[in-house]
Amino acid sequence: MKILLITSCTGEKAVDHPQALTMEDFRQGPEHVRQRERELADVLMPARDLYTGQQHVRLMRGVRAFEEAHPTNGAGPTLELQILSAGYGLVPDEQELAPYEATFNGMKAKELRAWADALSVPEGIRAILAQPFDLCLLLLGDGYLKACALGEDVRLGGPTIAFCGSRSAKALPDLPGIVAVPLTNQDAKRFRCPLISLKGELAARLLEAGAEQSLAAASRPADELVDWLDNRGDARSASAEASSASLEKVDFVIQIPQSWHDRTHRSHMRYFIPEWDDLVDPDFDFANDEHSGGKGNWSNQVYAHQMFAEPNYDGILVSKVVAEHGKEKRARINELGVHRFLRVPRAFPVMGDCGAFGYIKEEVPPYTTDEILDYYTRLDFDYGVSIDHLIVKATAEDAQFRYDLTLNNAEEFLREHKARGLRWTPIGAVQGWDARTYASGVRRCVQMGYRYIGLGGLVRTSTKALLPILAAVRDELPAGVDLHLFGLGRLGALPEFKRLGVTSVDSASYLRQAWLRTKSGYVMPDRHYSPLRIPEAGHPDPAQDTVAGKRFRAKVLDAHPHIEESDIFQRERAALASVRAYASRKASLDSALNDLLHYDQLITSDAIDMEPLYRRTLEERPWERCPCEICRSAGVEVVIFRGNNRNRRRGFHNTYVFYRLLSAIVSGQSEEDARTAEVQLQLFDWEEGASAV
């Protein structure tokens, strides 16, 4: 008996080498690749061991179980594993590969077809599928199946099961012997693992059942096979069970209550929060400063909207340069789409833009209109912004070039959007440098036919200078055309924004304020507070110390040469213990303040007297007055400035407060809200001209 497995490579790899091969290396041909492999000889490894993405990790669990149950002796069942690599093509699992970065996901159709042909993927897959086998499991995502170009000419050497997405299932050729098993988010929830890794999980369960049972199960109809695999949970290892339970706790799509929909429906201005990988460990151990997953990533952490009863924003803004910053994130978001990646339901608004700040120094944007339209469509955005180019510190000639380029892109963007009959809402981006240029740009976008226009490049503009620009824009804005301000969520200016026709804003300022503002890092509706700075000093045990801890101590010792390293640890522990004891009403305010300031002397380099600021935070105990989920669960830890899991939680709290004040200001919900809003218009004066971080 022979079982054939065909799976895809993953972005995550066991070796993360600075000189890893790139697409440019592969495009230079086999000889160049061999030369690069000689340079990386020390880190070459078999393909089966190279990939560490969850689909491959889960699949290999099943492969190892099968191999242990059926040792190779020339007579028993055998297993052949082939891996489709976007750099190497189709390779056997024992072939040694160099670390590399390449993926079919995200490629435009013509580019993908040309590159797959260059790697001889269609010919290779046909040759392998034509060989005799008793069962083949095809575990390929959309991009990788497209690379195979499977058609009616394919000849199968035996029964084949294709675990794939619903879109790919429809695209598979109608061949005798092939059964498509389309997988959905509901299946991911059912099997308690991310959709991106579900193909590997199902294949592993089949292989863990043994050769005979696998073959018998594979003869079932697709829905019965999935049911059978669901009942194979007892065959999984204890470690896999724990992993699945952990994933289920963090990887879930939120349910949004009607109260949120009612409020957003009444609101005349929507707030989008930019996505910047702001996640936290829901089970973080504050007492021991330990992450429940060892190290944080998307697979073991949650977003802010997963920690509250309802989201504290009306939508999320995802910039392409941020979404594709790391190879692991890029692969995951392309596989899942933006809504599932963000763990929000399909009805929750997600806006996409290119992230012009990421290529501000380039002569022209690195994207084409065709590429961006495909990106927004493929990842299922609700709103997509045309390609713009920031005009910052530019010469008059360069400013005009970027201005014209932005508007020309907007025109092409809308024309192609209409020609393709796309269903998501296009937003025309406008850049400028004064009221005249912004108003002219908006006029042109209206003439093009846009019903939603976004103004960029105004983040560093003071409110005083901004309002005349908005007044000029309003004169060009017909009724029914929405206006978005990128990077501007100033509470003090919201009444004027509303009056001047702004219908949506985005900003991460109040989130980032949690760790960027010494005096106002913790926000309450009636005043701001200074977080209590107790940064991590590391660990006295060298085996458990971190790079960050070592760097921190080195900086302290350099600034205070008379201090012993042991004294740094002692002061840190005393500050933490005293603040927690005070919060529990087991110590006095003065003792907590003294220990806090004793440690603060080592870390405050800007000569700020923190005593009155810390005293007010401790005296007024704002974390006890806040009703939000973060403060209720974390307590005093939320006001301690110390690591991402505290600082980001404080940012989540700040966003909670900001969103309620924004809703009160733009909706006028009650007299009490109005009075609170008036206080905030004074408190938030520091925002004038500030950059949205």
Structure-token match 């897959």, residue found: 125
pLDDT of residue 688: 37
Is residue 370 annotated as a catalytic residue, yes or no? no
pLDDT of residue 232: 59
Lowest mean pLDDT among 267-276, 300-309, 627-636: 267-276
How sure is the predictor about 294, in pLDDT bands with cuts at 50, 70 and 90?
A: confident
Amino acid at residue number 51: Y
* Alpha-carbon gap, residue 222 to 180, rounded angstroms: 7
Q: Which two tokens stand for residue 461?
A: 């503009």
pLDDT of residue 557: 79
Tell me the sheet residues that pair with 471.
Answer: none
Taking only the tens place, the pLDDT of each residue in 568-613 is 999 999 999 999 999 999 999 999 999 999 998 887 656 678 999 9
As a whole number, the mean pLDDT across the chain is 88
Whether the pLDDT of residue 393 is over 90: the answer is: no
Taking only the tens place, the pLDDT of each residue in 165-201 is 888 888 888 888 898 999 988 888 788 777 888 999 9
How sure is the predictor about 664, in pLDDT bands with cuts at 50, 70 and 90?
A: confident
Element (H or E) spanning 319, and its range? strand 315-319
Structure-token match 């500030």, residue found: 690
pLDDT of residue 605: 59
pLDDT of residue 234: 42
* Alpha-carbon gap, residue 179 to 579, rounded angstroms: 62
pLDDT of residue 670: 46
pLDDT of residue 352: 97
* Alpha-carbon gap, residue 121 to 337, rounded angstroms: 25
Q: How far apart are the first and last CA of the chain?
A: 60
pLDDT of residue 689: 34
Of the candidates 93, 187, 281, 353, the residue annotated as catalytic is 353
* Alpha-carbon gap, residue 650 to 657, rounded angstroms: 11
Q: Are 63 and 207 in contact (CB under 8 A)?
A: yes
Work out the average pLDDT over 507-524: 93
pLDDT of residue 261: 79
Please calculate the CA angle 567-573-575 and round it to the nearest 5 degrees.
100
pLDDT of residue 693: 25
Helix axes 547-559, 565-583, angle to 10 degrees: 110
pLDDT of residue 225: 86
Tell how strand 350-353 and strand 528-529 pair up: unpaired
Most confident of the following: 149-153, 291-295, 451-455 = 451-455
How sure is the predictor about 562, in pLDDT bands with cuts at 50, 70 and 90?
A: confident
Nearest to 200 by CA among 82, 407, 54, 85: 54
* Alpha-carbon gap, residue 250 to 244, rounded angstroms: 10
How sure is the predictor about 236, in pLDDT bands with cuts at 50, 70 and 90?
A: very low
Whether the pLDDT of residue 96 is over 90: the answer is: yes
The radius of gyration computed from the CA coordinates of the chain, to the nearest angstrom, equals: 28
Whether the pLDDT of residue 6 is over 50: the answer is: yes
Work out the average pLDDT over 349-361: 93
More confident residue, 335 or 21: 21
Nearest to 424 by CA among 334, 351, 486: 351
pLDDT of residue 579: 97
Q: 151: helix, coil or strand?
A: coil
Most confident of the following: 84-93, 236-245, 554-563, 598-607 = 84-93
Nearest to 390 by CA among 458, 321, 489: 458
More confident residue, 462 or 561: 462
* Alpha-carbon gap, residue 147 to 88, rounded angstroms: 13
Q: Which two tokens stand for residue 222?
A: 């697709």
Work out the average pLDDT over 110-123: 96
How sure is the predictor about 457, in pLDDT bands with cuts at 50, 70 and 90?
A: very high
Of the candidates 281, 388, 482, 506, the residue annotated as catalytic is 506
* Alpha-carbon gap, residue 343 to 346, rounded angstroms: 9
Q: Are 275 and 342 in contact (CB under 8 A)?
A: yes
More confident residue, 448 or 223: 448
Whether the pLDDT of residue 163 is over 50: the answer is: yes
Q: Are 505 and 488 in contact (CB under 8 A)?
A: yes
Beta strands in 320-412 (DSSP E): 350-353, 383-385
Whether the pLDDT of residue 692 is over 50: the answer is: no
How sure is the predictor about 74, in pLDDT bands with cuts at 50, 70 and 90?
A: low
Most confident of the following: 545-554, 651-660, 678-687 = 651-660
Lowest mean pLDDT among 12-16, 297-301, 502-506, 576-580: 12-16
How sure is the predictor about 684, in pLDDT bands with cuts at 50, 70 and 90?
A: very low
Is residue 353 annotated as a catalytic residue, yes or no? yes
* Alpha-carbon gap, residue 355 to 285, rounded angstroms: 35
How crowded is residue 23: how many other Cβ atoms within 10 Å of its Cβ? 15
How sure is the predictor about 145, in pLDDT bands with cuts at 50, 70 and 90?
A: very high
Taking only the tens place, the pLDDT of each residue in 405-437 is 999 999 999 999 999 999 999 999 999 999 999
Most confident of the following: 218-227, 271-280, 286-295 = 271-280
Work out the average pLDDT over 655-684: 67
